[in-house]
């Protein structure tokens, strides 16, 4: 549907991208990734008829888009821009109807057909419930879905999303990408999405294009592009890349450049109860400060388990996506009681990992210092019908401390021997 053939483009006399080639087919979800300043937004402008390339051409279903009228291109190609700020209190339905502009006659009056298309697009994007609300009253995720509805109202064959998850929390990021992926498949769109998060890109995209310094340095399936060597070359960052056991797709864990002190230089022993990536930054920083650190219970292939393995920390492991067994709980409780300080991160709790809170209760029961990180609050991450909240309350009533974040925890521990 859309091809960029060896395009070079930039501003004034300086080329930003050089000899970039990409191809989008119907039903394909293609991700464009790369570090800041690599040229991702310039590619988007060039392939959407905003910035004419100096060399090469952009072809939409066999026709050079720069020889087509803007109106003709807008009937077939839609862009959801990175910045979707709307200064006026337009109602959501009015915003979505703006997508019909390329199809309207000269006087620009919407017909019943246009209203029907707009309503259908709002239904697809789950925005119909606030069709009459002002766009400025919506959350970031809601507003992003409205902009996708407006793009769909153009009835495009090609959809370009420029950093659609920027400034959204993880729940809304997943919501927006699930929607985009679903629409691509069901409507046969050719979709190009620019993403900063390599893990989201690897999870959602069929094909990835990695840019660095204005050039394509890798292209292919996520497993071919997201490799330690290629990420290190493009971003200048040390990373660990593993394959997710459930999806088989790569996921990236950052590796700090700060040195790790080994062996521990402090007498204080810290046991970290974590999971779902909430403990990795803290365990590395604790080791850099010279603490002896143990970890448990973490599931194999969880990013916390990966980091603990990389740091060669004593740990209790459980099989991927499996509940904590009595044996693992016993070992974890023993490690917690052997430590001087037990830290419980803001991990989501379900019935499968409630025993981690039980281990903290046991440690507090024998006089160990227990610190709970409670941001976000437990109420938002208790998926065990209130049992996790009750256990946390029990720990606090037994004398545990609470902290807002990792920085506050570190500030309390830095003075320990």
Instruction: Determine contact, residues 403/383, Cβ cutoff 8 Å.
Output: no
Q: How far apart are CA 281 and CA 270, in angstroms?
A: 14
Give the position of tokens 């993880």: 170
Q: What percent of the chain has pLDDT over 90?
A: 62
Top pLDDT among 341 and 243 is at 341
Whether residue 246 is predicted with pLDDT greater than 80 in this model: the reply is no
Mean pLDDT of 319-340: 92
Per-residue pLDDT at 280: 87
Whether residue 309 is predicted with pLDDT greater than 90 in this model: the reply is no
CATH 1.10.3210.10 describes domain 269-413: no
Per-residue pLDDT at 165: 84
Instruction: Determine contact, residues 353/347, Cβ cutoff 8 Å.
Output: yes
Residue 252, token pair as written in the block: 């990236």
Mean pLDDT of 380-395: 91
Residue 224 CA: distances (Å) to CA of 181, 208, 232, 241, 242: 21, 9, 14, 12, 13
Q: Which of 88, 124, 117 is CA-nearest to residue 100?
A: 117
Q: How far apart are CA 254 and CA 280, in angstroms?
A: 9
Top pLDDT among 261 and 344 is at 344
Whether residue 245 is predicted with pLDDT greater than 80 in this model: the reply is no
Q: How far apart are CA 249 and CA 207, in angstroms?
A: 12
Nearest-5° angle of CA 311, CA 255, CA 275? 65
Mean pLDDT of 92-114: 89
Extents of the domains making up the chain: 2-252, 269-413
Mean pLDDT of 222-246: 87
Q: How far apart are CA 297 and CA 113, in angstroms?
A: 57
Q: Is the dihedral of CA 213, 216, 220, 224 positive or negative?
A: negative
pLDDT (tens digit per residue) in 335-372 = 999 999 999 999 989 889 999 999 999 999 999 999 99
Residue 211, token pair as written in the block: 């840019």
Per-residue pLDDT at 205: 96
Mean pLDDT of 271-278: 91
Q: How far apart are CA 360 and CA 398, in angstroms?
A: 11
Per-residue pLDDT at 257: 66
Q: What percent of the chain has pLDDT over 70?
A: 98
Local confidence band at 259 (pLDDT 50, 70, 90 cut-offs)? low
CATH 3.40.50.300 describes domain 2-252: yes
Three-state SS at 82: coil
Residue 26, token pair as written in the block: 């119907």
Q: What is the mean pLDDT of the chain?
A: 90
Q: How far apart are CA 150 and CA 164, in angstroms?
A: 14
pLDDT (tens digit per residue) in 166-223 = 777 777 888 889 989 999 999 999 999 999 889 899 999 999 999 999 999 999 999 9
β pairing state of 14-24 and 77-80: unpaired
Q: How far apart are CA 272 and CA 149, in angstroms?
A: 44
Q: What is the DSSP letter of 134?
A: B
pLDDT (tens digit per residue) in 40-49 = 999 999 999 9
Q: What is the DSSP string of 189-226?
A: -EEEEE-S-HHHHHHH-SEEEEEETTEEEEEESHHHHS
Comparing 1-10, 155-164, 182-191, 236-245, the range with the smallest average pLDDT is: 236-245
Q: How far apart are CA 360 and CA 374, in angstroms?
A: 14
β pairing state of 239-243 and 250-254: antiparallel
Residue 263: other Cβ atoms inside 10 A: 6
Per-residue pLDDT at 258: 65
Top pLDDT among 387 and 276 is at 387
Whether residue 253 is predicted with pLDDT greater than 80 in this model: the reply is no
Mean pLDDT of 125-135: 91
Q: How far apart are CA 61 and CA 23, in angstroms?
A: 11
Q: Which of 362, 371, 359 is CA-nearest to residue 396?
A: 371
Residue 19 CA: distances (Å) to CA of 81, 168, 199, 218, 296: 24, 32, 27, 13, 49
Which runs of consecutive H residues, i.e. helices, occur in 63-169?
Answer: 70-74, 92-97, 112-124, 140-153
Per-residue pLDDT at 366: 95
- pTM for the full model? 0.65
């Amino acid at each position: 549907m859309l091809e960029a053939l060896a395009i070079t483009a930039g501003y004034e006399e300086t080329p930003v991208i050089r000899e970039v080639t990409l191809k989008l087919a119907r039903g394909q979800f293609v991700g464009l990734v790369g570090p800041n300043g690599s040229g991702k937004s310039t590619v988007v402008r060039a392939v959407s008829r905003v910035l004419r390339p100096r060399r090469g051409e952009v072809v939409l279903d066999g026709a050079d888009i720069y020889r087509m009228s803007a109106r003709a291109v807008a009937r077939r190609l839609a862009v959801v821009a990175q910045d979707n700020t709307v200064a006026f209190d337009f109602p959501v339905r009015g915003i979505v109807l703006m997508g019909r502009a390329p199809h309207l006659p000269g006087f620009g009056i919407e017909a019943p057909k246009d209203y029907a298309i707009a309503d259908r697009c709002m239904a697809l994007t789950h925005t119909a419930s606030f069709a009459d609300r002002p766009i400025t009253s919506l959350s970031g995720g809601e507003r992003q879905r409205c902009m996708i509805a407006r793009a769909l109202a153009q009835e495009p064959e090609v959809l370009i999303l420029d950093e659609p998850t920027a400034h959204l929390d993880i729940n809304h990021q997943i919501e927006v990408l699930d929607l985009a992926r679903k629409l691509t498949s069901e409507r046969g769109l050719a979709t190009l999405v620019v993403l900063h998060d390599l893990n989201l890109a690897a999870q959602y995209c069929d094909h990835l294009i990695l840019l660095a310094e204005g050039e394509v340095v890798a292209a292919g399936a996520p497993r071919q592009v997201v490799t330690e060597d290629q990420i290190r070359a493009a971003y200048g960052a040390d990373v660990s890349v593993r394959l997710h056991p459930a999806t088989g797709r790569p996921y990236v864990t950052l590796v700090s450049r700060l040195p790790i002190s080994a062996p521990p230089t402090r007498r204080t022993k810290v046991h970290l109860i974590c999971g779902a990536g909430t403990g990795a930054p803290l365990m590395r920083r604790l080791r850099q400060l010279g603490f002896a650190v143990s970890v448990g219970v973490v599931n194999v292939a969880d990013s916390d388990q990966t980091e603990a393995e990389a740091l060669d920390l004593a740990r209790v492991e459980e099989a991927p996506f499996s509940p904590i067994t009595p044996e693992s709980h016993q070992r974890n409780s023993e490690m917690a009681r052997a430590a001087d300080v037990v830290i419980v991160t803001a991990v989501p709790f379900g019935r499968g990992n409630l025993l981690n809170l039980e281990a903290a209760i046991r440690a507090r029961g024998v006089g160990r210092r227990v610190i709970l990180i409670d941001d976000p609050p437990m109420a938002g991450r208790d998926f065990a019908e209130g049992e996790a909240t009750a256990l946390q309350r029990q720990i606090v009533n037994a004398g545990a401390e609470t902290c807002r974040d990792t920085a506050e925890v570190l500030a309390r521990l830095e003075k320990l021997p």
